[in-house]
């Protein structure tokens, strides 16, 4: 886990992606998920239309960016979770979802509550 404040989570996630690519990971092996606001690259790709955006997920040729609550079910070798906001329950759910999508490595960028039973 790379602990940072929510406002720095996207930047830290971008740094993690750069390090993964520099270490030889193929772009299509990496999924970046956000817990709150969409990553700017996601917004850019969505500006070309939903069909083209989701086709990129299926093609698995490049790093794919999505908010955890809107991402279609998919597994990738590496998942980078940017905890850029959201309540405790939402972040715990996002962490569980990200863990279930990562086949080899999960990198969490942000501050996360410890998993456990949720209160009320």
pTM: 0.91
- Measured CA to CA, the distance from residue 112 to residue 56 in angstroms comes to 29
H-helix or E-strand containing 100?
Answer: helix 88-101
pLDDT digit string, tens, across residues 46-72: 999 999 999 999 999 999 999 999 999
- Measured CA to CA, the distance from residue 42 to residue 92 in angstroms comes to 22
* Average pLDDT of the segment spanning 11-32: 98
Question: Which residue, chain included where needed, has tokens 């690519």?
Answer: 21
The H helix count followed by the E strand count for the chain is 4, 4
Q: What domains, with CATH codes, occur in the chain?
A: 6-109 (3.40.50.300)
């Amino acid at each position: 886990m790379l602990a940072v404040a929510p406002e720095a989570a996207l930047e830290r996630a971008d740094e993690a992606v750069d390090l993964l690519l520099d270490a030889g990971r193929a772009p299509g092996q990496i999924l970046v998920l956000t817990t709150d606001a969409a990553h700017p690259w996601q917004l850019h790709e969505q500006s070309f239309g939903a069909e083209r955006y989701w086709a990129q997920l299926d093609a698995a040729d490049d790093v794919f960016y999505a908010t955890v609550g809107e991402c279609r079910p998919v597994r990738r070798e590496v998942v980078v979770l940017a905890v850029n906001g959201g309540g405790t329950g939402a972040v715990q759910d996002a962490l569980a979802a990200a863990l279930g999508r990562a086949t080899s490595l999960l990198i969490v960028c942000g501050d996360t509550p410890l998993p456990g039973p949720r209160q009320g």
